[in-house]
Amino acid sequence: MAKQIDIDLVRHVGKLSRIELTDEQVRTFSRQLGEIIGYFDKLRELDTDNVEPMAHAVELTNVFAEDAPGESLTPEAALSNAPDRRDDMFQVPRIIGTGS
């Protein structure tokens, strides 16, 4: 059976966190936190003497593609949907130093 977390403790933690909790939330969190502590008690029963420490439960590998140069867009293709352009550049409204 999971240990009971005192309702006063939940209210105190809520107050420290500046979170307003309803009475129903306090009862729910009290039960849920007690169940979480119960899971830790179950884990303490396991023999972990010969288990290597690990950062992740599964082995992770890098899934990024190699950073290799590819074919670039032409200025005409890059600017084909631009609402406004000047030569081979995007034209955008001035927003800095407008004096407003």
Q: What is the pLDDT of residues 6-61, one digit of tens each?
A: 999 999 999 999 999 999 999 999 999 999 999 998 988 999 899 888 888 888 88
Which parts of the chain fold into alpha helices (H)? Answer: 7-16, 23-44, 75-78
Position 95 scores a pLDDT of 87
Determine the Cα–Cα distance for residues 35 and 29; give it in Å rounded to an integer: 10
Threshold 0.85, pTM exceeds: no
Sketch the domain layout of the chain as residue ranges.
7-44
pLDDT at 99 > cutoff 80: no
Determine the Cα–Cα distance for residues 9 and 39; give it in Å rounded to an integer: 19
CATH number attached to the domain at 7-44: 1.10.20
Using alpha carbons, select from 5, 54, 13, 70 the residue that is nearest to residue 31. Answer: 5
Beta strands 85-86 and 89-90, pairing class: antiparallel
